[in-house]
Amino acid sequence: MLAYFCFLEQLLVSNLGPRALAISLPFSCVLGLLSSMIASTMVSKSYLWAYASFQFAIVILFAHIFYSILNVNEILSVLLSSFTGFGIAISINSLLAEYLRWRATRHLGSSREHINGSVQQQQQQHEHQQHHRHHPDQYQPHHIYHHQLQQQSMENLAMGSTDDTRHQETRMQIT
């Protein structure tokens, strides 16, 4: 409240003289109370002073613009600057909060997709390994098949077996 009072007194004393006190005191109490209520509800405690300082700076900036540059009536300039300053501070805070929320959900979504992709890849590898354990002949390279076929043929000749069905079964397993 004191900061708003000092600001309004300095702004209005040059043109109004002693009447500046009558305008500065009630407006500074209302502005101080309103700004502290807005700041405490809009931001967390760790950012309270930063938000209140930003809000105060915006109100001061617009009060100078309305009163000194645009020559608006003193009471109207204080009202307009407070509404404009509070409105801009609230809007910027809301936009920043929405942006941070959007970025967090986007980051969470991309990490969730990454995790799901990794889980699916691990499941596929696990299924591949399980299938390989149950059907090991299917995953052997082609040259190993030929080697096994040759060994079986040699064994069949050595044993004197002329059973063509066994030989055909071996060929069917390879293909």
Q: What is the pLDDT of residue 130?
A: 66
Q: What is the pLDDT of residue 49?
A: 92
Residue ranges of domains in the chain: 2-85, 140-175
* C-alpha count within 13 angstroms, C-beta hemisphere, residue 153: 8
Where do we find the tokens 């617009």? 62
**Tens of each residue's pLDDT in the chain, 175 residues:** 888 888 888 888 888 888 888 888 888 899 899 989 999 998 989 999 999 999 999 999 999 999 889 999 888 998 999 999 999 999 999 999 999 999 998 888 777 666 666 666 777 676 766 665 655 555 445 555 555 656 665 555 555 544 555 555 555 555 5
SS (H, E, C) 1-65: CHHHHHHHHHHHHHHHCCHHHHHHHHHHHHHHHHHHHHHHHHCCHHHHHHHHHHHHHHHHHHHHH
Q: What is the pLDDT of residue 7?
A: 83
Q: What is the pLDDT of residue 126?
A: 67
Q: What is the pLDDT of residue 9?
A: 85
Kindly report whether the global pTM for this prediction surpasses the value 0.85: no
